[in-house]
Chain A
Amino acid sequence: MKIVQKILNDYLGKIIDISAMVIMTVLVSVVFIGICFRYFLDLPLAWSNELSQFLLVWLTFFGAAAATRRAKHLSIDDIFNALGPKTQDIVKRMINALICLFLIFMAIRGLSMARTVWSSKSEALQVSNGLLYLPLSVGFFLMLPYNLYNVFAGKEWSDQE
C-alpha cells in the first residue's frame, strides 16, 4: 500500500497538479493578450477566444482530478460524519466503488465521442474538435486510481503536502 501511495502522491499527483497550474497560467495569459491586442492594437485575435475555451475544458477536468486527489469535491458530509467509524468505512468504500463505475463508464463513452468528432477541425485554430472531448476522459482516468485506492484503503484519500 505504501508504494501505491507514493506513486499516487509523488508521481501521478505531481503530474496532475503541474498540468493544472500550467493550464491556469496559459489561460490567464491568452485572455489577457487577447484583450491587449484588441484594445491597444485594435487587432482582435480570433484564436485567443477559441484557445481559451479549449483550455477551460482542460482546466475543468485536470482541476477536478486535482480536487479528487485532495478530497475537495463539493459534498454534504453532515450525515456521513454522524455515522460510527465502522459504518463510515463501509459507506466510504461503497461510494468510491460507485464513483469508479461512473468514471470508467463515462470515460469510455467520452473516448468514443472524441473519436467520432476527431476529424472535424475548429474554426480559428484548425485543431481537432476531439480535443474538446478528450479532457473529460483524461480527467476521469486520472481520478480513477485515487477512487480505486479509497475502495481498498477504506478511508478518504487525502493529500499529504
Chain B
Amino acid sequence: MTLAITIILFFGLIIVGVPLFFGVGTASLFYFTSSGFPLEIMIQRIEATSESFSLLAIPFFVLAGHLMMQGGAGKRIVKVSDSLVRWLPGGLAIVTVGAAMIFAGMSGSLIADAAAVGSIMIPGMTQKGYHKNYASAVVASSGSIGVIIPPSIPMVLYGFIAGVSVGELFMAGIVPGILVGLALMITAGIIATTRRYQVEKFIGLKELLKDLVVCFPAVGMIIIILGGIFGGIFTATESAAVAVVYGLLVGFFVYRELKLKDLPKILIDSAVTSATILVVIGVVGALTWGLTANLVPQRLTSAILSVTQNKILVLFLINLLLLFFGCVMGLAPALLLTTPLLLPVALSLGINPLHFGLIVVSNLAIGSFTPPVGGALYVSSQIAGISIWQTAKGLIPFLAANLIVLFLITYIPEITLLIPRLMGALG
C-alpha cells in the first residue's frame, strides 16, 4: 500500500512538472516516514551517493566536453569527417553520423553533441537539397550514439549503481556503438540513393591529410581518455580530470579559440549540468535504499520469474519497459530509476552485468530522439526550423535501424562482451 501511494505520488508530482529532484525527494520522504525508517538514513544516502569517487567523472567529462566544443574542436571534427566520407551516397548524412561518433568520444552529453553537429550539418545538408526532415532526423538519431560509444556519462551512472567497473563498461560499448553508427550510415545512404541526392567528389588525398593533422589534437583527447583507461594507467575519473587539463591546453594554445573570459561561463554551465544529475542520483539512492530494505527489488524479481523464466521473453519485456521509460523521461533519470529494479532480474537469469548495462543504455538512448521528451529531437528540429513531428516522420527508418541493432545487442551477448574478454576484463 505504502509502495502504491509512493509510486502514485512520484508520478503525480513529476507529471505536473515538479523537478525530478524534488519529486523523487518528496516520494522517498513519504516512503521513509511511512515505512518507519529513520530520516537520518535518507540524508546519509543522499550525501553518500554524492561523495563517491567514481561519480567525480561526471563533472569532469562535462567540463572537458564544454572546453573542447568552446575551444574549436567541433568544427574541425566535422571538417575531417566531411573530407573522409563526403563522396559516399548521402555523403553529408554519413558525415553527420561519423562526426557524432567522434564527438561521442568527448562530450558524453547527447544534447550538446546534437547541437554541435546539427548547427553545422543541418544547414549544410539543406543547402545541398537534402530534405529538412531527413537532415534533422539524421542529426537527432546519431546523437544517441554518444551515450553508447565511450566515454559516456550514462555508463558512469550505470557502473555506479550496478557496482561494475566503468572502464569495462567503456570497453563493452565499443562494438555496439560502432554497430549503431554503421546501421544509421547504411540507412542514410539507402535513403539518399533512392532520393537521388547530389553526390560530392572526393577532395583528394593531400587535402584529407591536411584535415587529419588539424583534427589530431581534438581526437587526441579520446586517445588519452580511452588509452589511459584501457591501458590501466588511469581510472575513469582520473582520465576525465586529465581530459579537462588537455582540453584547456588545446583550447588555449593549439586552436587558440578559448578565451579566459569564456571560462567562468564554461565552469558554471558544467557545474549546473553535473549538479542536476548528481542531486537526482542522491535522492534516487535514498529511495532505492528504502525499497531494498523492504525487499521490493527481490519481490519484483520473483514476481516476474514466477510468470516466466524464459530468458528471451523476459529480456523482451525488459526492453519494452526500458523503451517506455526512455521515451517518457530523460536518459539519466530513467536509468537511475530502472536499473536498481531490473538489474536483480537480469542477474538472476544469468545475464552479465556489462551486457545488461549496454541493453539499458541502448534502450534509453532511443528515447533520447523520440517524442515526447527526446532532447536530441528538440535540438535538431529547432536548428532545422521544423516541428518535432516533421522530424519524427523522417526518423522512422532510423528508428527501425536502431531497433534492429538493439535486438542484436540484446540477444547476442558476444557483441558487448567480446572486447572486454579480449582485454582480459572478464577473467
| Residues of chain B contacted by A28 (CB below 8 angstroms) | 60, 63, 241, 244-245
Contacts of B43 in A (CB 8 A): 106, 109-110, 113, 133, 136
> B29-56: which residues lie under 8 A (CB-CB) from chain A?
29, 39-40, 43-44, 46-47, 50-53, 55-56
Q: Are A75 and B245 in contact (CB under 8 A)?
A: no
Known: A24-B59, A63-B272, A63-B274. A95 touches B242 (CB 8 A): no
Q: Which of B13, B47, B56, B270 is within 8 Å of A52, CB to CB?
A: B56
A24: which B residues are within 8 A, CB to CB?
59, 63, 267, 270-271
Q: Is A73 an interface residue (CB 8 A)?
A: yes
Question: Are A59 and B271 in touch, CB under 8 angstroms?
Answer: yes
**B26 is an interface residue with CB less than 8 A from chain A:** yes
Q: Mark B232-269, 1 if CB is under 8 A from A, else 0.
A: 01100110011011000000000000000000100110
Residues of B within 8 A of A116 (CB): 40
Q: Say whether B373 faces chain A, with CB atoms less than 8 Å apart.
A: yes
Query: In the complex, what's the smallest C-beta–C-beta distance from B44 to chain A, in angstroms?
Result: 7
Q: Taking the complex as formed, is A35 at the interface, i.e. its CB lies under 8 A from any CB of chain B?
A: yes
Residue of B nearest to A116 (CB): B40
Nearest B-chain residue to A65, judged by Cβ: B275
Interface residue? B90 (CB, 8 A): no
Does B17 lie within 8 Å of A76, measured CB to CB? Answer: yes
Contact (Cβ within 8 A) A53 B51:
yes
A23 surroundings in chain B (CB, below 8 A): 271
* Number of residue pairs A-B, CB distance < 8 angstroms: 168
Residues of B within 8 A of A70 (CB): 272
Do B18 and A21 touch across chains, with their CB atoms under 8 A apart? no
- A54 on interface, CB distance cutoff 8 Å: yes
**Range of interface residues on chain A?**
35 or more
Contact indicator B44/A113 (Cβ below 8 Å): yes
When A20-B268, A56-B56 are in contact, do A79 and B332 touch as well, CB less than 8 Å?
no
**CB-CB nearest in chain A for B17:** A80
- Which stretch, B130-138, B207-215, B278-286, touches the partner chain A? B278-286
Interface string of A59-101 (1 = CB under 8 A from B): 1111110110010111111111000000000011001001100
- List B contacts of A72 (CB < 8 A): 272-273, 276
Does the CB pair B275–A64 fall under 8 Å? yes
Q: Cα distance A39–B279 when bound, in Å? A: 32
B116 within 8 A of A: no
Cβ of B372 within 8 Å of any chain A Cβ, yes or no, is yes
CB distance from B191 to the nearest CB of A (A): 29
Known pairs A17-B268, A35-B242, A132-B47; A74 contacts B280 (CB<8 A): yes
Chain A, interface SS category: helix
Residues B25 and A73 in contact, CB atoms below 8 Å apart? no
* Interface flags, B320-335, vs A, CB<8A=1, else 0: 0000000011101100
Q: Which of B172-193 contact A (CB under 8 A)?
A: none
Task: Give the Cβ gap from B137 to chain A, nearest Cβ, in Å.
Answer: 20
For residue A135, give the distance in angstroms from its CB to the closest CB of chain B.
8
A74 and B50 in contact, given A60-B279, A63-B272, A66-B268 (Cβ under 8 angstroms): no
Bound CA–CA A31/B234 (angstroms): 12
Interface assignment of B88: CB less than 8 Å from any CB of chain A: no
Contact B237 A31 (CB under 8 A): yes
Known interface pairs A76-B15, A136-B43; A35-B241 also in contact (CB < 8 Å):
yes
CA distance A26 to B11 in the complex (A): 38
Q: Does B318 contact A (CB under 8 A)?
A: no
Over the window 353-393 of chain B, the binary record of Cβ atoms lying under 8 Å from chain A Cβ atoms (1 yes, 0 no) is 00000000000000000001100000000000000000000
State the Cβ distance, A82 to closest chain B Cβ, in Å. 10
A157–chain B nearest beta-carbon distance, Å: 13
Set of chain B residues within 8 Å of A91, measured between Cβ atoms = 16-17
Q: Which residues of B contact A21 (CB under 8 A)?
A: 264, 267-268, 271
- A136 touching B46 in the complex, CB below 8 Å, given contacts A73-B20, A74-B332: yes
Give Cα A25 to B19, complex, Å.
Answer: 27
- What are 20 sample pairs from A and B whose C-beta atoms fall under 8 A apart? A21-B271, A28-B244, A31-B238, A53-B53, A56-B59, A60-B274, A63-B274, A64-B275, A72-B273, A73-B20, A73-B21, A76-B373, A77-B17, A78-B373, A80-B17, A92-B17, A95-B17, A95-B18, A106-B29, A136-B46
Q: A56-B59, A64-B276, A102-B29 are in contact. List 7 more A-B contacts (CB 8 A).
A: A53-B52, A73-B20, A78-B372, A98-B13, A98-B22, A98-B26, A109-B40
A residues near B (Cβ < 8 Å) are 17, 20-21, 23-25, 27-28, 31-32, 35, 39, 49, 52-54, 56-57, 59-64, 66-67, 70, 72-80, 91-92, 95, 98-99, 102, 105-106, 109-110, 113, 116, 132-133, 136
Pairs of residues from A and B, 9 with the lowest C-beta to C-beta distance, nearest first: A63-B275, A80-B17, A73-B19, A63-B271, A31-B241, A20-B271, A75-B19, A60-B278, A60-B50
